[in-house]
Amino acid sequence: MSRELFREGGELNATRVGPDQYEMKIAIPRDADGRMGRECHATDCSPAYFKVTPGTGIVEGQVVAYCPYCRHQDEPNNFFSSDQLRYAKDLAIREASEAVTGMFKDALGLDSSGRRKFGGGFVSVEMSFKEGQKPHVHRPFEEEVRRDVICPNCGLDQSVYGLATWCADCGKDIFLTHVEAEVAVIRAMLSDVERRREQLGGRIAARDIENCLEDVVSIFEAVLRILARRHLLSGAMSTEEVDKFFKKAGNAFQNLKRAEEIFQQELGIGLLGCLSEAESMRLSSAFDKRHPITHNLGIIDRKYLERVRSAEDEGKEVLVSVDEVEAAIAASLKVFGWVHSTLFRDAPNP
């Protein structure tokens, strides 16, 4: 009796498609939130790992999917992660091991209880075969990726590392949606300041506001870097030249004046052109407060005084209000939208 390596149907729904070829359907387990890990296999893509929620986004007739980081496109099934591939192979090996055991029993002529008796007179020998345990298959390991957004164009619920640009299903530019999700976290923290002031006191509340301001400056810097990098790479600059450009720029994008100069000189765009003079001054005053907060525990130093020439006295604490941080967020979002639409007018936007 000849046996097949895989049972047709069976646990893995195997179908024989050639002399030594089988097709199997393997369901990839989801994480606790119903998300499924995906990985981009383009060379040089980083971080390449993301997650999608099956059943959201393009649910029928999807022939192509995209990497949120590099927009590499491929068949949806080809975005398997390395651990999902390991899982699929392990399942196939487990299934094949049953058939191999059967083949072994057949070859030795064992009966259904796995025994065979030789002889029958004075000398008889019994051979028995005990099956080993089925190999255990570990579920694929899923990374913790905690930046979730829903694409405003196709509705795909997806999670990425950092600030990604493209929707994994429809391939549209959803960078600003990612930025808004990031900013929503700061807004949520700001909205909790009063409760924390009552429960934990004024000093904690003040630190919360300061931390939020620092986060706004960090997002501002990160967003401008990503936008500038994308623009420079789409032009005549090589990756090495772009890397060199950012090395030279250092942390210039934390500083409004320097960021403005660089955007004007290198990208030909007036960074704060979309803000009124009052908005622009308010943003710049909030940004100026970040330095003593980060480097001097919030105490006003001479450097800060020289820069802002404010009436606040050296040695006093820098005061930041929730309103100030909220205004800085609103102005920053305006700047991001303006730079994005100016630089990437022709990109596939939602």
Q: Of 165-184, which residues contact Zn ion (CB under 5 A)?
A: 167, 169-170
Alpha-carbon distance of 69 to 197, in angstroms, equals 39
Q: Does 283 bind Zn ion (CB under 5 A)?
A: no
| Per-residue CA distances from 26 to 17, 49, 86 (Å) | 16, 20, 12
Tell me how crowded residue 15 is: count the other CB atoms within 10 A of its CB: 13
Least distance (Å) between residue 239 CB and Zn ion: 15
Q: Does 42 bind Zn ion (CB under 5 A)?
A: yes
| Planar angle of CA 37, 40, 46, nearest 5 degrees | 105
Task: Using CB under 5 A, pick the residue from 69, 80, 161, 263 that binds Zn ion.
Answer: 69
Alpha-carbon distance of 31 to 43, in angstroms, equals 26
CB closer to Zn ion out of 218 and 349:
349
Task: Using CB under 5 A, pick the residue from 5, 24, 26, 70 that binds Zn ion.
Answer: 70
CB closer to Zn ion out of 169 and 208:
169
Which span sits near Zn ion by CB under 5 A: 115-123, 136-144, 159-167, 235-243? 159-167
CB closer to Zn ion out of 78 and 294:
78
**Can you say whether the dihedral through the CA atoms of 281, 284, 290, 292 is positive or negative?**
negative
Q: Does 52 bind Zn ion (CB under 5 A)?
A: no
Alpha-carbon distance of 185 to 195, in angstroms, equals 16
Which span sits near Zn ion by CB under 5 A: 38-46, 87-95, 260-268, 279-287? 38-46
Task: Using CB under 5 A, pick the residue from 28, 36, 151, 216 that binds Zn ion.
Answer: 151
Residues whose CB falls within 8 Å of the CB of residue 94, separated by 6 or more in sequence, listed in order: 134, 135, 137
Alpha-carbon distance of 2 to 33, in angstroms, equals 45
Read off φ and ψ for residue 298, nearest 5 degrees.
80, 10
CB closer to Zn ion out of 102 and 162:
162
Alpha-carbon distance of 301 to 207, in angstroms, equals 18
Which span sits near Zn ion by CB under 5 A: 20-28, 70-78, 92-100, 122-130? 70-78
Q: How many residues bind Zn ion (CB under 5 A)?
A: 14
Q: Does 53 bind Zn ion (CB under 5 A)?
A: no
Pull the structure tokens for residue 49: 């790992």
Task: Using CB under 5 A, pick the residue from 72, 231, 289, 290 that binds Zn ion.
Answer: 72
Q: Does 38 bind Zn ion (CB under 5 A)?
A: no
CB closer to Zn ion out of 52 and 216:
52
Pull the structure tokens for residue 334: 């305006």
Residues whose CB falls within 8 Å of the CB of residue 58, separated by 6 or more in sequence, listed in order: 154, 156, 169, 170
Least distance (Å) between residue 61 CB and Zn ion: 15
Least distance (Å) between residue 51 CB and Zn ion: 14
Pull the structure tokens for residue 52: 């999608």
Structural contact between residues 212 and 189, judged by C-beta atoms closer than 8 angstroms? yes
Task: Using CB under 5 A, pick the residue from 24, 26, 45, 181 that binds Zn ion.
Answer: 45
Least distance (Å) between residue 136 CB and Zn ion: 32
CB closer to Zn ion out of 67 and 212:
67
Q: Single out the residue of 330, 326, 310 nearest to residue 318, CA to CA.
A: 310
Q: Does 230 bind Zn ion (CB under 5 A)?
A: no
Task: Using CB under 5 A, pick the residue from 28, 36, 52, 67 that binds Zn ion.
Answer: 67
Task: Using CB under 5 A, pick the residue from 81, 84, 153, 332 that binds Zn ion.
Answer: 153
Structural contact between residues 167 and 151, judged by C-beta atoms closer than 8 angstroms? yes
Residue 314's identity, in one-letter code, is E
Q: Does 40 bind Zn ion (CB under 5 A)?
A: yes
Which span sits near Zn ion by CB under 5 A: 161-169, 201-209, 221-229, 250-258? 161-169
Pull the structure tokens for residue 286: 């909030």
* Residues of this chain that bind Zn ion (CB under 5 A): 40, 42, 45, 67, 69-70, 72, 151, 153-154, 156, 167, 169-170
